[in-house]
């Protein structure tokens, strides 16, 4: 098969690495890719949001399967456009990608189909939003409705903080059009869990669970990021909990989306809060988590390509995937200053010594310049290791981190602490 992966982060490197290992893959392209991905795929200089460019390339190269990594092109309708050209594409169509593209859409779906989620209101008027906040009191959560690159959520501890989040979105336009509508919702307390399922429109196949660390600082403190590290399996995801999530959250969503005329295909990523009243849905993403995908791909024993094809072709019923029992853990190396402003173009050395430690480095934001590897993003490398226990996986990952020579980057030193201290 000729396969094209769309995207250029650590998630796409992990996907390319897994797909390149499949005997079914004859040729692998990645658009736009990065310096690490170039080891597994031929990178082509087409941006992940350049829908016209991607469709033209896929047609020209006679691609058999397009795997879309990030949410942007899904919301823009890349899968619809590829299907219109009779090409197979992994990921939801635009109307189903609304599960991530509009938080209000996702909340209304939950309300209609009885899926446990925080109580909420939708607002296009700042005064009405503020009145609701004053009535509900704090803590309370203010969310921009649309895609805001992971920045549109304020978990407000006080009413004042929530009121200024409304102004930030609606008066200062901090999130552009994405903040023209707000979802304001009940604060949920508990442990967070990322749950992934492959979906083919009708059936859903649960994948392994994972947990990520969103805060930039050790002990889960400081501002939120895209994720500073992750591990899989997640000790809190028991068999009973998986069955409960499938029955009460994932399957009602799959049936509800089909009944509403927007059947879901691709990977469905449920951000869950494990509350004392049971699991509740915080959000849906219509793609793999980043960096959760990296640990999932490391643990996957089965060939991923037939699973991706089965999701596209409506063939997931009775499909099975096998996972390593070991724990995989990934540590994100980010540019100093991230998630605030940071320098680009700094040189990373020592990557060739990592292989000796047994760890794997997925590249998230790098480019090659001659023999040099340069950092191009906020999150730059995902150092990923596995071992029979999470404590050993953590040790292995940090051993590899220490082999990398990049004074302009930093990482959290406590990835996995919650699971290790359980």
CA atoms within 13 A of residue 357's CA, in its CB half-sphere: 25
Residue 141 lies near ligand AMP (rule: CB under 6 A): yes
Q: How far apart are CB 166 and ligand AMP at their closest, in Å?
A: 16
Count the helices and strands in the chain (H runs, E runs): 14, 24
Q: Measured from the CB atom, is 12 or 290 closer to ligand GLY?
A: 290
Three-class SS state of 54: helix
Member of 12, 192, 290, 326 binding ligand AMP (CB under 6 A)? 192
Q: Are 150 and 224 in contact (CB under 8 A)?
A: yes
Angle between helices 94-101 and 251-259 (to 10 degrees): 130
Member of 32, 206, 235, 271 binding ligand AMP (CB under 6 A)? 271
Q: How far apart are CB 370 and ligand GLY at their closest, in Å?
A: 32
Q: How far apart are CB 377 and ligand AMP at their closest, in Å?
A: 20
Per-residue tokens: 227 = 């994720």
Distances (CA, A) of 151 to 142, 204, 214, 277: 11, 29, 12, 28
3-state DSSP of 314-362: CCCCCCCCCECCCEEEEEEEEECCCCCCCCCCCEEECHHHHHHHCCEEE
Q: Which of the listed partners (ligand AMP, ligand GLY, none) does 297 bind, with a CB threshold of 5 to 8 Å by partner kind?
A: none
What does the alpha-carbon distance between residue 71 and residue 148 come to, in Å, rounded to a whole number? Answer: 11
Q: What is the DSSP secondary-structure string of 76-139? A: TTHHHHHHHTT--EES--HHHHHHHH-HHHHHHHHHHHT--B--EEEESSHHHHHHHHHHH-SS
Residue 285 lies near ligand GLY (rule: CB under 6 A): yes
Q: How far apart are CB 190 and ligand AMP at their closest, in Å?
A: 8
Per-residue tokens: 291 = 């960096």
Residue 339 lies near ligand GLY (rule: CB under 6 A): no
Query: Is the Cα dihedral 17, 18, 23, 25 positive or negative?
Result: negative
Residue 153 lies near ligand AMP (rule: CB under 6 A): yes
Residue 181 lies near ligand AMP (rule: CB under 6 A): no
Residue 214 lies near ligand AMP (rule: CB under 6 A): yes
Q: Which of the listed partners (ligand AMP, ligand GLY, none) does 185 bind, with a CB threshold of 5 to 8 Å by partner kind?
A: ligand AMP
3-state DSSP of 276-303: CCEEEEEEEECCCCCCHHHHHHHHECCC
The stretch near ligand GLY (CB under 6 A) out of 125-133, 286-294, 355-363, 378-386 is 286-294
Q: How far apart are CB 381 and ligand GLY at their closest, in Å?
A: 16
Q: Which of the listed partners (ligand AMP, ligand GLY, none) does 138 bind, with a CB threshold of 5 to 8 Å by partner kind?
A: none
Residue 118 lies near ligand AMP (rule: CB under 6 A): yes
Q: Measured from the CB atom, is 7 or 409 closer to ligand GLY?
A: 7
Q: How far apart are CB 5 and ligand GLY at their closest, in Å?
A: 16
Residue 282 lies near ligand AMP (rule: CB under 6 A): yes
Residues that bind ligand GLY (CB under 6 A): 212, 226-227, 285, 289-290, 292
Residues that bind ligand AMP (CB under 6 A): 118, 141, 143, 153, 155, 185-188, 192, 214, 271, 282-283
């Amino acid at each position: 098969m000729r396969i094209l992966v769309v995207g250029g982060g650590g998630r796409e490197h992990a996907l390319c690495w897994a797909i390149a290992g499949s005997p079914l893959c004859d040729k692998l392209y990645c658009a736009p890719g990065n310096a690490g991905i170039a080891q597994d795929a031929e990178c082509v200089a087409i941006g992940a949001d350049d829908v016209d460019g991607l469709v033209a390339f896929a047609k020209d190269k006679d691609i058999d399967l397009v795997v879309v990594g990030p949410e942007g092109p899904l919301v823009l309708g890349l899968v619809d456009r590829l299907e219109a050209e009779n090409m197979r594409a992994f990921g939801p169509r635009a109307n189903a990608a609304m599960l991530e593209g509009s938080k209000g859409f996702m909340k209304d779906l939950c309300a209609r189909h009885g899926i446990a989620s925080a109580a909420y209101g939708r607002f296009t008027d700042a005064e009405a939003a503020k009145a609701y906040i004053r009535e509900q009191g704090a803590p309370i959560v203010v969310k921009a409705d649309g895609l805001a690159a992971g920045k549109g959520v304020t978990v407000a501890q006080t009413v004042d903080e929530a009121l200024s989040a409304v102004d930030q979105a609606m008066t200062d336009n901090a999130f552009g059009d994405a903040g023209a509508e707000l979802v304001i919702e009940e604060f949920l307390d508990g442990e967070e869990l990322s749950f992934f399922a492959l979906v083919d429109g009708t059936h859903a196949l649960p994948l392994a669970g994972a947990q990520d660390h969103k805060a930039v600082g050790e002990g889960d403190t400081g501002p939120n990021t895209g994720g500073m590290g992750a591990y899989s399996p997640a000790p809190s995801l028991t068999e009973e909990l998986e069955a409960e999530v499938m029955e009460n959250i994932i399957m009602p969503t799959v049936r509800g989306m089909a009944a509403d005329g927007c059947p879901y295909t691709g990977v469905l990523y449920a951000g869950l809060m494990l509350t004392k009243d049971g699991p509740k849905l915080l959000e849906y993403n219509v793609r793999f988590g980043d960096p959760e995908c990296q640990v999932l791909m490391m643990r996957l024993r089965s060939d991923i390509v037939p699973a991706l094809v089965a999701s596209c072709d409506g063939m997931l019923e009775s499909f099975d995937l096998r996972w390593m029992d070991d724990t995989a853990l990934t540590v994100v190396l980010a540019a100093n200053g991230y998630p605030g402003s940071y320098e680009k173009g700094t040189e990373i050395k020592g990557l060739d010594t990592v292989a000796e430690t047994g760890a794997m480095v997925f590249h998230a934001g790098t480019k090659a310049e001659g023999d040099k590897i340069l950092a191009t993003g906020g999150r730059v490398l995902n150092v990923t290791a596995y071992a029979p226990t999470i404590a050993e996986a953590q040790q292995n990952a940090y051993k590899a981190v220490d082999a990398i020579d990049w004074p302009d980057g930093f990482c959290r030193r406590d990835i996995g602490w919650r699971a290790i201290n359980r």
